[in-house]
Amino acid sequence: MNYVLDRIYADVESLAATEFGQPNPEVRRPPKESEAIYAVPCFQYAKEKNTNPIKLADGLSAKWNQGLQAGSLIERFEPARGYVNVFVKKKTLLARILKNLRDFGEDYGNYPEINKTIVVDYCSPNIAKPLSVGHLRSTIIGQALINILRARGYRVVGINFLGDWGTQFGKLLYAFEQWGNEKKLAEEPIQHLLELYVRFHKKAKINPALEDDARAAFKRLQQGGEKERALWQRFRGSSLEAFEKTVARLGVKFDHNWFESEFEERARELVDELLAKGIAEESEGAIIIRFKPLWPAESPEPPPAQPPLVIRKSDGTTLYPTRDLASALERIERFQPVHRLLYAVASEQTLYFSQLWNALEEMRKRGFFKHAKINQPGILKYIPFGMVSLPTGKISTREGRIVYLDELLDEAERRAQEIIKEKNPDMPKDARAQVARKVGIGAVIYADLSQDRIKDIVFDWSKMLAFEGNSAPYLQYAAVRCARILAKASPEDRKRLEEPKDADIPRMVAEIEEPESIELLMHLGRFPQAIAEAAERYAPHALASYLYDLAAALSRFYTEVPVLKAQTDAARLARLTLVEATGRVLRRGLALLGIETPEEM
Ligand code: ARG
């Protein structure tokens, strides 16, 4: 069983591949106004062959038309200024889409399993610090990618990589000894640890000797001091619990929580191995990896020239990058066969991740991945994203304006409550709170995912929560509307919808005549491809914009085409089928983005 548009695409691709003699020729979606389903650009090949692309497209169209078999879904090829446009048998295509929608049911959009693992590093906050808005974006984008890649068939492992190591823990240990409060640590761990951290820095400014005390405390922790370890364990435990509670509000549950400190030992060994293989070298007592300015052409993402990466300080201790490298190796070994390691981290860390990318690439070439089942260049895939700002400016803990994510999410829910109260005054209070949760949180998630992730986000509550325009409530409302229409259908109609027979399909297709109905069904047919595209480009936003277009197509359909009042039985069934499928795809698509759809709103 497969998706009809994927079939057509594959057929066109293989025709072009044979003709051009290359495995992955370009096949495009023509502009919206075109009736063609795909277009094959001939410019590249014409250039290679030193001929005119227009002539080439003419010749190819004629040749491919001749080769067409009677049973093919493709109706004809037509040249258009250097492109070969592909036209399909519309009614047959519509019937196949209906059949796909019926046969796949709730699984519509999912692909069969691919035996390749993608490991996604996301959220990944530092212990004893509040989650930042950057971590919010990482969590939202990471979770959406996890869902989308799973739907695409990959095996996906999500890892929350917690920063729990470094001299700052010496400061906290010291500060807690001095000013700590057991009760506060239990109740509000993050706030309390942050307070202690700030207090330490204030005091250390006046009395720099405190820094030595902190260093000594961290040393004791490193050496396994019982008291220090116990306290540090509690910092970790209570912080993690708080993080998990917050992200649960976004529907997120990590497959794994990995602590940076767990890679300390492996990191130390790794430094020696890197030295032995000549990847790392000594420099003023420290150990560094120096990057050559030019990298072999096999690298898919040539990075800019960059400073060396320090992996061991002159005092013999490892650093964050060393532990990151050790943890990357562990991911490759443990989750075989690993196709990619994704890191959803703010674009501020571009330089760091290009260093990691290079270091891993050099390691791969020197046999570090030799036991890995997949051994391809560029295993690390950095997923950067832009900054978030409130209308009043940048959100940053450094500037002292801390935004607690829980407060931000509370605010979203509170605003959603008010809007729903206004739109639907009769809804009981309990139900309203539930709906407000889905709408408010959904609005935050969608505001993030509806644009290219690399762009900065400006929080605009009213745009985010608007029922019109490109927002979560608009899409959720479209899905709710579908459910409302279905609820009004007669029991007989609903029964027929649930168990459509093969013979119903041609009858329904005959009734799908209006441009709005055709457009809606065609768009429904593209859902699997939207998922595939979002997966391939690691771009949840491709799926978001698909859903927005779907909601818009529904709204045009709904304005122009009567559903429950359709003239004939067959027409009513066809239109109800469209409504049911649209509701299903909207709900499923939103769920892939991490957004729940309320029953009512
Ligand atoms: N802990 C880092 C931060 O809060 C992000 C870690 C990202 N993941 C990684 N494996 N380096 O900025």
* 210-263 per-position pLDDT tens digit: 999 999 999 999 999 999 999 999 999 999 999 999 999 999 999 999 999 999
Whether residue 345 has its Cβ less than 6 Å from ligand 1: yes
Superfamily of domain 406-592: Isoleucyl-tRNA Synthetase; Domain 1 (1.10.730.10)
Please give the Cα distance from 41 to 25 (Å, whole number). Answer: 9
Query: Which residues are within 8 A (CB) of 15 and not within 5 positions of it... i.e. 6 or more apart?
Result: 40, 64
pLDDT at 357: 92
pLDDT at 403: 74
Whether residue 596 has its Cβ less than 6 Å from ligand 1: no
For the segment 553-572, what is each residue's pLDDT rounded down to a tens digit?
A: 999 999 999 999 999 999 99
**Atom number, ligand 1, closest to the C-alpha of residue 135:** 4
74-83, 286-295, 368-377: least confidently modelled range: 286-295
**Atom number, ligand 1, closest to the C-alpha of residue 346:** 12
Q: Are strands 309-312 and 155-162 parallel, antiparallel or unpaired?
A: unpaired
For the segment 419-470, what is each residue's pLDDT rounded down to a tens digit?
A: 999 999 999 999 999 999 999 999 999 999 999 999 998 888 888 889 889 9
Superfamily of domain 255-403: HUPs (3.40.50.620)
Of all protein residues, the one whose alpha carbon is nearest to atom 11 of ligand 1 is 324
**Atom number, ligand 1, closest to the C-alpha of residue 125:** 4
Provide DSSP, 227-296: HHHHHHHHHHHHHHHHHHHHHHTTT---SEEEEGGGGHHHHHHHHHHHHHTTSEEEETTEEEEPPPS---
Q: What is the phi-psi region of residue 553: left when phi exceeds 0, alpha when psi lies from -120 to 50, beta otherwise?
A: alpha
Quick check: helix, strand or coil at residue 483? helix
Q: Are strands 155-162 and 256-259 parallel, antiparallel or unpaired?
A: parallel
Please, which pLDDT band fits residue 294 given cuts at 50, 70 and 90? very low
pTM of the predicted structure, to 2 decimals: 0.94
pLDDT at 299: 55
Of all protein residues, the one whose alpha carbon is nearest to atom 7 of ligand 1 is 124
Query: Which residues are within 8 A (CB) of 142 and not within 5 positions of it... i.e. 6 or more apart?
Result: 120, 121, 122, 123, 158, 342, 344, 383
pLDDT at 222: 92
Helices 226-248 and 168-179 pack at an angle, to 10 degrees, of 100
Whether residue 322 has its Cβ less than 6 Å from ligand 1: no
pLDDT at 44: 92
Question: How close is the Cα of 345 to the center of ligand 1, in Å?
Answer: 7
Whether residue 163 has its Cβ less than 6 Å from ligand 1: yes
Tell me, which fold does domain 4-88 have in CATH?
Gyrase A; domain 2 (3.30.1360)
Question: How close is the Cα of 311 to the center of ligand 1, in Å?
Answer: 16
Quick check: helix, strand or coil at residue 528? helix
Q: Are strands 286-289 and 280-283 parallel, antiparallel or unpaired?
A: antiparallel
Whether residue 213 has its Cβ less than 6 Å from ligand 1: no
Whether residue 138 has its Cβ less than 6 Å from ligand 1: no
Please, which pLDDT band fits residue 396 given cuts at 50, 70 and 90? very low
Average pLDDT, the chain: 93
Domain ranges of the chain: 4-88, 255-403, 406-592
Whether residue 260 has its Cβ less than 6 Å from ligand 1: no
Residue in 291, 395, 388 with CA at minimum distance from that of residue 347: 388
Query: Which residues are within 8 A (CB) of 405 and not within 5 positions of it... i.e. 6 or more apart?
Result: 130, 131, 133, 135, 136, 246
For the segment 107-119, what is each residue's pLDDT rounded down to a tens digit?
A: 999 999 999 999 9
Whether residue 324 has its Cβ less than 6 Å from ligand 1: yes
Contact 480/598 with Cβ under 8 angstroms? yes
Q: Two tokens at 570?
A: 């067959």
pLDDT at 401: 58
First vs last Cα of the chain: how many Å apart? 36
490 - beta bridge partners?
A: none
Whether residue 130 has its Cβ less than 6 Å from ligand 1: no
Of all protein residues, the one whose alpha carbon is nearest to atom 12 of ligand 1 is 125
Question: How close is the Cα of 376 to the center of ligand 1, in Å?
Answer: 24
Query: Which residues are within 8 A (CB) of 150 and not within 5 positions of it... i.e. 6 or more apart?
Result: 156
Whether residue 109 has its Cβ less than 6 Å from ligand 1: no
pLDDT at 398: 44
